[in-house]
C-alpha cells in the first residue's frame, strides 16, 4: 500500500511536472511570437530609417551640387566686377588729374578776383561811411515825423472812440424815444433758399447793419427797380434762431416786470413764419423758435428771482380758423366756437373760455406746444407742403407777487403766428383750401386796415372787421410792447408779395401805441378789495332779507314784474345786468351791491396813500371809478332776463358770438379788481369748468369775462322798454336819476 501511494504520488508529481512543462512550452511559444513580432517591427523601422537616410543623402548631394554651381556663378560675377572696377579706377585717375588742373586754373583766377574785390571793398567802405551819415540824418527826421503822426493818430483814436460812444448813446436815446412813443418794433427776417432753388436770382440786393434793406427784381433793369426800406433790425438768411431770439429777449423779459408784450410774424405763405415762432417739427434745442425760447427764458428768470418774487405762469393757445376761434389745448374733440371779449379786461383774457394750463417747467411747455401744433389746421398747397391754414395765438399769462411788500403784478405775452397771405393762382388751392385762403386774406386785409387807421391816427379803428384784429386789439391799440417779424421769401417769383409785405411792415413801424405801462397792484388795493367784498356780502344779505320780508308782507299784490319796476324806481341801483364774477375758490357768485358813499370813501383812502407809486395811484383811481360803477349796477332779475330775450338754452350759443365792438366796458378797472378775479384763473386752467347753481335772484345768463365789473346786456328794443319803465315811475332822489343815466349810456348789445 505504501508503495502504491508512492507510485501515485510520483505519478501526480509527474503529471504536475508535465503540466508545468506544457505551460512553459506555451509561454515560450508566446514569447517567441512576441519576439518575432518585435523583430518584424524593428526590421520595418530599419528599412524606413534606411530609406529616409538615402533620401536625405540624395537631397544633400543635390544641395551641394546647387551650391557649387551658385558659387561658381558668383565667382564669375565677382571676376567681372573686379575687371569693371579696375577700368573705373583708371578712368577716375585720369579724371582726377584733369580736375586738379582745372582747380589750379580756378585758384589763380579766384586770387585775381579777390584782389580786385578787395580794392572794390575799400571803395565801398568809404561810400558806406558817407551813407551811414545820411541814414542817421534821415532817421532823425523820420522819428520827428513819427512823433507828429503819433500825436495826430492819438487825436483820431480819441475822436473815433467819442464817435462810437455818441453813436451808441444815439441808439439808446432812439430806443427810449421809441419806447415812449410806443412804436411797433419791426424785425425783418429773410428765409434762405430751399434745396433745388436757384441762389443766383435773389430779390435781396443789400442788407445794412442799421436795418437797411434794398430789394430789386433781377428780371428788370433800371434805378426805379431798386426799393429801399428801413426797419429796426434785418436778419439775413444765415441768421440762427438764437441770434433772432437774443434781439427779442429784453422785450420778452419785461413780461416779468408787469408789461404786456405781443410778438407776431407776418409774411406770405412759405416765408418761414412758423419756423421763426415755433421752429421745425421735433426740433432740437438749437432749433427752438421764439415760443419755446421765450417760455424757457421766463422760467429761468423766475427761478433766479425766487428769493424775492413768486411767479405763476399759465398758457393759452387758440387758433382763428375760417373766422372761428378754437382752443388748441382743449381735450374736447368737438372744438366749439369761442367768444372774444373786450380787450380792456385787466387780466388780459381776450378769449376767456379757452382752457388755461399752468406750467412750471420747460417740459410742460413742450408737451402743451406739441398738443397745440398737432391740433392746428395745416394743409398742403403748391407753395408749401405744410401751410398753416389758421392764425395761431399763444398767450402766456404771468402773475407775480413781491414776497417782501406783497405787491402784485401781471404781464401777458402774446405770441402770434399769422397764416400766410397767398395768391390763389400760385397756391392752386380749391375747395376747402380755397375757402381757407379767402378767410386768411380777408383777415390779413382787415389787419392792414387797422394798421392804416392807427398810422393815420384815425378816430375810428375797424377792429370789428375780423376776429384776428379783435384778438390783437389789446396789443395794437393798448399800452403794450409790440414786435412784428416780417418774413420774406427771396425767390424772384415772390417779388410782388415781398414788396407788398415790406410796404405793410413800413406802415406798421410808423404806428405809435403810446408808452407801455406796467400792471402792478399795491397791498392796500388788495385790502380795500377784500373790504369791498365783505361789505358787498353783508349788503346782499340785507337786501335779500328785505325782499323776503316785502314778499311776506304783501305776497298777492307784489308780482315779479311789479316788484322789479319798484326796485328800479325806488333804488339808486338800476336793475341792469351785471356779470357774475368768479370768487377766489373758482365758483360763481352773484354780484353784490354797495352804496356809493362807502365805496368812494374806501377808494379815496387808497388814492390818497402817499406810499403808492404813480402806477398804483393810477390803478387806484381806476378802481374808484370801477367801484362807483359797481354801485350803479345790479343783477338781472327774472323779468329783465325775459325782456332781453335770453334763455338758458341759447346762452352758450350767444356767448360764442360776443365780439369786441359788441361788448364794451363802462369804466376800465386798470387792474384794481384783477387780483381777486385772476386768482381763480389758474385754478380754472387745471380743472374743467364745473356746473354752478343759480342764485335766488339771478337767472342763467351768458358768463362774461372776469375783468368786467360793470356791463349792461340789452338790445336796442329792450333798452327803450327799460327807459319807458323807469321813466313812468317817479324817481325819489338824484341818485336814482344818475343810476338811470348810467344804465342808458352804457347800454351794450350782443353781436
Strands 212-215 and 747-748 turn out to be unpaired
Same domain, 529 and 608: yes
Residues 689, 586 contacting (CB under 8 angstroms) = no
For residue 438, the Cα-to-chain-centroid distance in whole angstroms is 29
Residue 724 falls within a domain, yes or no? yes
Domain boundary among 176, 192, 221: 176
User: How far is it, in rounded angstroms, from Cα 516 to Cα 172?
Assistant: 17
Spatial separation of the C-alpha atoms in residues 579 and 537, rounded to whole Å: 16
Give CA–CA dist 442/445, Å, rounded: 5
Q: Is 270 annotated as a binding residue?
A: yes
Same domain, 164 and 200: no
Q: Which of 475, 250, 487, 292 is nearest to 388 (CA)?
A: 487
Residue-number span of the structural domain to which 201 is assigned? 182-519
Span 687-715, pLDDT tens digits: 433 333 333 333 333 333 433 333 333 33
229 and 167 in a single domain? The answer is no
Closest C-alpha to 719, from 743, 737, 739, 697: 743
Residue 12's CB: how many other CB atoms inside 10 A? 10
* Residue 23 forms part of a structural domain: no
Alpha-carbon distance 686 to 182, whole Å?
Answer: 35
What is residue 496's DSSP assignment?
A: H
Q: What is d(CA 516, CA 508) in angstroms, rounded to the nearest whole number?
A: 17
Query: How does pLDDT run across 665-682, given as a tens digit for each residue?
Result: 333 333 333 343 344 334
Domain ends where: 519, 544, 568? 519
469 marked ligand binding residue: no
Which residue, of 483, 498, 519, is where some domain finishes? 519
Q: How many domains does the chain have?
A: 3
Tell if the pTM clears 0.95, that is, is over it: no
The per-residue pLDDT for range 319-357, each reduced to its tens digit, is 888 888 888 888 765 556 666 655 445 555 667 678 889
* Pair 515, 586 in one domain: no
Distance from C-alpha of 502 to C-alpha of 231, rounded to nearest angstrom: 10
Beta carbons of 711 and 577 less than 8 angstroms apart: yes
pLDDT at position 654: 38
- pLDDT of res. 363: 83
Mean pLDDT of 466-483: 79
Distance between CA 192 and CA 210 in Å, rounded?
21
Asked if residue 46 is part of any domain, the answer here is no
> What pLDDT was estimated at residue 555?
54
Residue 33 lies in a domain: no
Q: Is 269 annotated as a binding residue?
A: yes
pLDDT of residue 482: 85
Do both 666 and 644 map to the same domain?
yes
Instruction: Report if residue 615 sits inside a domain.
Output: yes
pLDDT digits (tens, 9 = 90+) for 170-224: 666 765 666 666 668 899 999 888 776 666 678 888 888 888 899 988 877 766 6
CATH code of the domain covering residue 405: 3.40.850.10
Judge whether residue 599 has pLDDT over 70. no
What is the C-alpha R_g of the chain?
Answer: 52
604 or 228: which carries more pLDDT confidence?
Answer: 228
Q: What is the mean pLDDT of residues 295-320?
A: 88
Residue 57 lies in a domain: no
pLDDT number for residue 734: 36
pLDDT higher than threshold 50 for residue 89: yes
274 is in an annotated binding site: yes
Helices within 376-484 (DSSP H only): 424-427, 432-455, 467-471, 473-476
Cβ contacts of 185 within 8 Å, gap of 6 or more: 178, 232, 251, 481, 482, 483, 484, 509
Q: CA-to-CA distance for 56 and 50, rounded, in angstroms?
A: 10
Report the percentage of the chain scoring pLDDT > 70. 62
73 domain residue, yes or no: no
> Are 431 and 334 contained in the same domain?
yes
51 pLDDT above the threshold of 80: yes
3-state SS, residue 443: helix
477, 533: one domain: no
Q: What is the pLDDT of residue 70?
A: 93
Q: Which of 732, 730, 539, 554 is nearest to 635 (CA)?
A: 539
**How many other C-beta atoms lie within 10 A of the C-beta of residue 338?**
23
Cell numbers placing 248:
427779442
Q: Are residues 146 and 281 in the same domain?
A: no
Half-sphere exposure of 668 (CA within 13 A, CB side): 13
> What's the pLDDT at 522?
59
C-alpha cell, 215:
430789394
Same-domain pairing of 532 and 479: no
Q: Is the pLDDT of residue 59 over 90?
A: yes
Q: Residues 370-388: pLDDT tens digits?
A: 888 888 766 555 444 445 6
Residue 426: CB atoms within 10 A of its CB come to 15
Q: Which three cell numbers stand for residue 655?
A: 356767448
- The answer to whether the annotation marks 268 as part of a ligand binding site is yes
Q: What is the mean pLDDT of the chain?
A: 71
User: Cα separation of 90 and 87, whole Å?
Assistant: 5
Residue 729 has pLDDT above 60, yes or no: no
pLDDT band (50, 70, 90) for residue 475: confident
CA distance linking residue 453 with residue 469, whole number of Å: 12
Please give the helix or strand (H or E) that residue 233 lies within, else none.
strand 233-235
Residue 41 lies in a domain: no
Query: Which residues are registered as beta bridge partners of 497?
Result: none
- pLDDT tens by residue, 601-654: 433 443 334 333 333 333 333 333 333 433 343 333 333 333 333 333 333 333
Cβ neighbours of 27 (radius 10 Å): 10
Name the residue with cell 565801398: 124
Residue 362: pLDDT band with limits 50, 70, 90:
confident
Both 502 and 634 in one domain: the answer is no
- Same domain membership, residue 470 and residue 324: yes
337 and 225, same structural domain?
A: yes
| Residues 6+ positions from 62 with CB-CB distance below 8 Å | none
Tell me the H-state helices in 510-657.
Answer: 523-553, 560-570, 596-607, 614-631, 638-644, 651-656
Amino acid at each position: 500500500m505504501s508503495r502504491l501511494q508512492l507510485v501515485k504520488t510520483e505519478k501526480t508529481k509527474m503529471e504536475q511536472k508535465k503540466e508545468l512543462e506544457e505551460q512553459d512550452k506555451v509561454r515560450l511559444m508566446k514569447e517567441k511570437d512576441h519576439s518575432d513580432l518585435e523583430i518584424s517591427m524593428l526590421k520595418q523601422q530599419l528599412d524606413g530609417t534606411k530609406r529616409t537616410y538615402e533620401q536625405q543623402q540624395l537631397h544633400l548631394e543635390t544641395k551641394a551640387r546647387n551650391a557649387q554651381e551658385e558659387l561658381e556663378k558668383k565667382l564669375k560675377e565677382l571676376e567681372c566686377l573686379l575687371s569693371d572696377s579696375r577700368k573705373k579706377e583708371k578712368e577716375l585717375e585720369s579724371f582726377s588729374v584733369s580736375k586738379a588742373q582745372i582747380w589750379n586754373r580756378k585758384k589763380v583766377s579766384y586770387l585775381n578776383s579777390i584782389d580786385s574785390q578787395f580794392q572794390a571793398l575799400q571803395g565801398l567802405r568809404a561810400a558806406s561811411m558817407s551813407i551811414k551819415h545820411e541814414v542817421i540824418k534821415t532817421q532823425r527826421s523820420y522819428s520827428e515825423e513819427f512823433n507828429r503822426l503819433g500825436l495826430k493818430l492819438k487825436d483820431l483814436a480819441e475822436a473815433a472812440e467819442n464817435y462810437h460812444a455818441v453813436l451808441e448813446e444815439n441808439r439808446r436815446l432812439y430806443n427810449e424815444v421809441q419806447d415812449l412813443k410806443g412804436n411797433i418794433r419791426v424785425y425783418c427776417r429773410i428765409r434762405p433758399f430751399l434745396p433745388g432753388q436757384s441762389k443766383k436770382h435773389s430779390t435781396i440786393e443789400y442788407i445794412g447793419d442799421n436795418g437797411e434793406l434794398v430789394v430789386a427784381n433781377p428780371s428788370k433793369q433800371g434805378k426805379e427797380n431798386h426799393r429801399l426800406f428801413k426797419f429796426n433790425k434785418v436778419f439775413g438768411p444765415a441768421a440762427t434762431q438764437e441770434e433772432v431770439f437774443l434781439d427779442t429777449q429784453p422785450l420778452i423779459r419785461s413780461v416779468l416786470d408787469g408789461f404786456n408784450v405781443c410778438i407776431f410774424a407776418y409774411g406770405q405763405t412759405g416765408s418761414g413764419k412758423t419756423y421763426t415762432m415755433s421752429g421745425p417739427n421735433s426740433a432740437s434745442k438749437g432749433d427752438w423758435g421764439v415760443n419755446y425760447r421765450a417760455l424757457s427764458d421766463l422760467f429761468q428768470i423766475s427761478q433766479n428771482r425766487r428769493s424775492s418774487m413768486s411767479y405763476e405762469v399759465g398758457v393759452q393757445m387758440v387758433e382763428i380758423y375760417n373766422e372761428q376761434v378754437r382752443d388748441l389745448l382743449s381735450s374736447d374733440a368737438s372744438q366749439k366756437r369761442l367768444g372774444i371779449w373786450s380787450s380792456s379786461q385787466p387780466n388780459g383774457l381776450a378769449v376767456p373760455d379757452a382752457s388755461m394750463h399752468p406750467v412750471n417747467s420747460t417740459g410742460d411747455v413742450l408737451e402743451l406746444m406739441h398738443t397745440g401744433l398737432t391740433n392746428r389746421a395745416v394743409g398742403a398747397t403748391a407753395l408749401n407742403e405744410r401751410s398753416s391754414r389758421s392764425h395761431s395765438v399763444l398767450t402766456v399769462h404771468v402773475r407775480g407777487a413781491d414776497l417782501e411788500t406783497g405787491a402784485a403784478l401781471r404781464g401777458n405775452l402774446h405770441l402770434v403766428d399769422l397764416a400766410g397771405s397767398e395768391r390763389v393762382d400760385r397756391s392752386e388751392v380749391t375747395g376747402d383750401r380755397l375757402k381757407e385762403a379767402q378767410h386768411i386774406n380777408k383777415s390779413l386785409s382787415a389787419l392792414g386796415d387797422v394798421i392804416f387807421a392807427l398810422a393815420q391816427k384815425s378816430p375810428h379803428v375797424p377792429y370789428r372787421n375780423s376776429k384776428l384784429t379783435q384778438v390783437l386789439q389789446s396789443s395794437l391799440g393798448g399800452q403794450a410792447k409790440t414786435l412784428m417779424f416780417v418774413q420774406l421769401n427771396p425767390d424772384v417769383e415772390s417779388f410782388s408779395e415781398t414788396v407788398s409785405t415790406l410796404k405793410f411792415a413800413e406802415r406798421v413801424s410808423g404806428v405809435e401805441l403810446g408808452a407801455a405801462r406796467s400792471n402792478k397792484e399795491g397791498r392796500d388795493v388788495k385790502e380795500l378789495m377784500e373790504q369791498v367784498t365783505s361789505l358787498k356780502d353783508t349788503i346782499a344779505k340785507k337786501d335779500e332779507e328785505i325782499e323776503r320780508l316785502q314778499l311776506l308782507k304783501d305776497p298777492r299784490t307784489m308780482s315779479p314784474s311789479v316788484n322789479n319796476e319798484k326796485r328800479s324806481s325806488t333804488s339808486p341801483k338800476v336793475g341792469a345786468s351785471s356779470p357774475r364774477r368768479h370768487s377766489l375758490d373758482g365758483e360763481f357768485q352773484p354780484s353784490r351791491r354797495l352804496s356809493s358813499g362807502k365805496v368812494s370813501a374806501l377808494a379815496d383812502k387808497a388814492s390818497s396813500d402817499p406810499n403808492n407809486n404813480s402806477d398804483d395811484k393810477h390803478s387806484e383811481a381806476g378802481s374808484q371809478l370801477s367801484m362807483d360803477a359797481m354801485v350803479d349796477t345790479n343783477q338781472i332779475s327774472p323779468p329783465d332776463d325775459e325782456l332781453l330775450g335770453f334763455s338758458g338754452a341759447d346762452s352758450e350759443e350767444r356767448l360764442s358770438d360776443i365780439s369786441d365792438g359788441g361788448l364794451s366796458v363802462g369804466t376800465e378797472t386798470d387792474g384794481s379788481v384783477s387780483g381777486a378775479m385772476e386768482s381763480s384763473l389758474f385754478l380754472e386752467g387745471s380743472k374743467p369748468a364745473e356746473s354752478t347753481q343759480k342764485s335766488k335772484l339771478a337767472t342763467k345768463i351768458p358768463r362774461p369775462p372776469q375783468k368786467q365789473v360793470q356791463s349792461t346786456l340789452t338790445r336796442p328794443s329792450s333798452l327803450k322798454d327799460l327807459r319807458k319803465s323807469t321813466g313812468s315811475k317817479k324817481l325819489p332822489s338824484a341818485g336814482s336819476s344818475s343810476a338811470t343815466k348810467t344804465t342808458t349810456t352804457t347800454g351794450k348789445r350782443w353781436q
